[in-house]
Structure 1
Amino acid sequence: MTDLGTPVLDNHLHLDAENRGIEAVEEFARSGGTHLLVVNKPSWHLGAEPDDGEDFRPVFEETLGLVSQASDVLEGCAWPVLGVHPALISQLVDDRGLSVEDARDLMCAGIDVAAEYAEDGRAVALKSGRPHYDVSDAVWDASNDVIRHACERAGDAGVALQLHTEATEDLTDVATWAEEAGLPPERVVKHYASGELAGVTKSVMCRKEYLETAVEVGEPFLMETDFVDDADRPGAVMGPKTVPRRVRWLREEGHDDAVRLAHVETPESVYGIDTEATLAE
């Protein structure tokens, strides 16, 4: 057990072998971090210009390789989250000239490939979402169709679903779609969340004010940095040390129960992962 006396999970960050990669994991571990959920970088960041679902596979395979290396470094382990970044729809429509319907179908095909890994036990969650910026009604509706499809595939595979969405404290619409698809809404996670969220589970960005709100609300939550591992944006969005530092701060403030909720209980209920049993002896 680290000097923090608890498992420490960053619920959402990215790794890139061409940037800091495992060096960032080592920094996280030195700071007291023990577990990671590694989300594949957006496909275009890794040079992929997909024409069909299979074209996403190299992106997923690269993530799996980095997860394996990360697990060798950590006192605990890392798990992959695989899927399609929702901003891809704008690239497909605006830059490549696809119809909204064809872009939607291509993104769903990418999620189908990610679901293969989840069904084989090689991913603990899928990733989907909708743009966090203004888009046309047609793109918005198509993006929601992709989320519904992701809910269905996550439900079929028995895994969780991480979502990238607009800034909001209400995702009860998505909770309804998840229920309709047989996916428990609590297994849907909004990444980059603030301290309050209705409908699904929140993955709270590690700003102190957000964490204070999450502690006060008392509902299940996770903690994340959304570290992007981009040489052009070092430390963005938050650096690898941030979650361990915030755990230390929460414990100093007397919030041991909230730390256990975020790093042991919620990971178990959402992803079915045991952050205590997976700690090295």
Structure 2
Amino acid sequence: MDYEGPILDDHLHLDPVNGQDTAAVETFADAGGTHLLVLNKPSWSLGVEVDAAADFREGFDLTVEAVERATEVLDGRAWPVLGVHPALISRLVDRGYTPEEARDLMCAGLEVAAEYVDDGPALAIKSGRPHYDVDEAVWTASNAVMRHAFAVGAEADCAVQLHTEGGEAFGDIADWAEERGLPREQVVKHFAGSRTVGPVPSVLAKKPKIEGAIEQGRPFMLETDFIDDPDRPGAVLGPKTVPRRTRWLLETGHEDAVRTVHVGTPARVYGIDTEATLEG
């Protein structure tokens, strides 16, 4: 691949407790990848059960440390994106919390995540709502958590990545963000469809989805949602995928799309300069 520019995976997980951790980053870098946004895994998957706001820090700190190791491997760098996985509400309710109690704890966790943005190591926060069927009380509480994430993001002046149900029409969610002071350009729909409306789409790096996103002519990014789970190796996509898809885009004459994905959209959404942070 005759390309020396940045290659960013917008949504990847590292598991320093159970998974490949830095070895996955080395795989990404060997394939040509230069920059990563690393999302903290759900707290319970790292062996952490939360019952107070401070309990979120253990998972956040593990992710920050994993990102520091990742940056040592990359020609560019990695950034943490920290927050509260929306499925936590179901886990808390199963443990005896009311939906409202779970909501309040998750909102407190988002405020802790924002401290990591304010203090420097984290780039953005994550939130969302369940991607599976829940009862009305849990759905209402989950939407309240997501709205709070937008207010927290606006206060911290950072983007919010969203994990939600499938679909492509999310204009109402972008409106909620703007009502709370967060521009819709700073709302990112993780695992987005190519025709996602409202937030900025972070598109799973599969060829048909990428082709659809290019046809829309809107800013977008690429992700693997690699989950670093030894029981599901390569899920959702392996860490080589975004560099490989970037090579394919270049080979098929989509140089403009490569610049949009890896330079223009990250600058617009997160305020990062993937070229200036690329060595040599």
Smaller-chain TM-score bracket: over 0.9
Q: Offset of 1:245 from its aligned partner?
A: 0.3
The secondary structure found in structure 1 opposite 2:106 is helix
Give the partner amino acid of 1:190. Answer: K
Structure 1 position 213 matched with structure 2 position 222: no
1:78 corresponds to: 78
Tell me the residue number matched to 2:22: 22
Shift of 1:6: 2.0
Shift of 1:262: 0.6
Name the structure 2 match of 1:268: 267
* 1:183-223 Cα deviation digits (max 9, x unpaired): 00110000001111111100000111000001111100000
Q: Deviations over 1:74-124 (max 9, x none)?
A: 00000000000000101111x201101000001111111001111122211
Question: Is the 8 Å Cα contact of residues 82 and 127 (structure 1) preserved in structure 2?
Answer: yes
d(CA) in 1 for partners of 2:44, 2:86: 12
Tell me the distance in 2 between the aligned counterparts of 1:3 and 1:105: 50
User: If the length of structure 1 is used for normalisation, what is the TM-score?
Assistant: 0.98
Contact 1:3–1:32 under 8 Å retained in 2: no
Q: Could you tell me which residue of structure 1 aligns to residue 141 of structure 2?
A: 142
Moved more, 17-26 or 269-278: 17-26
Which residue of structure 2 aligns with residue 189 of structure 1? 188
Over residues 29-52 of structure 1, what are the superposed CA-to-partner deviations in whole Å (9 max), with x where a residue is unaligned?
000000000000000101111111
Q: Which runs of 5+ in 2 are unaligned?
A: none
Task: Report 1:123-202 matches (<5 A).
Answer: 123-202=122-201
Root mean square deviation of aligned Cα: 0.9
TM-score, scaled to structure 2: 0.98
Return the alpha-carbon distance in structure 2 between the equivalents of residues 17 and 96 of structure 1. 26
Question: In structure 2, what is the Cα distance between the partners aligned to 1:164 and 1:4?
Answer: 32
Residue 173 of structure 2 aligns with an amino acid whose one-letter code is V
List gaps (5 residues or longer) in structure 1: none
Letter in 2 for 1:232: D
Q: CA deviation at 1:5?
A: 2.7
Distance 2:37 2:2 in 1: 21
Distance 1:141 1:119 in 2: 29
The offset of 1:3, in angstroms, is: 4.4
In structure 1, what is the equivalent of residue 237 of structure 2? 238
Deviations 1:221-266 (A, max 9, x none): 0000000001111000000000000000011110000110010000
Q: What's 2:56 paired with?
A: 56
Q: Determine if contact 1:190/1:200 at 8 Å carries over to the other structure.
A: yes
Q: Letter of the aligned partner of 2:32 in structure 1?
A: G
CA deviations over 1:49-90 (Å, ceiling 9, x no partner): 111110000100010001011000000000000000000101
- Structure 2 residue identity aligned to 1:76: G
Count of equivalent residues: 279
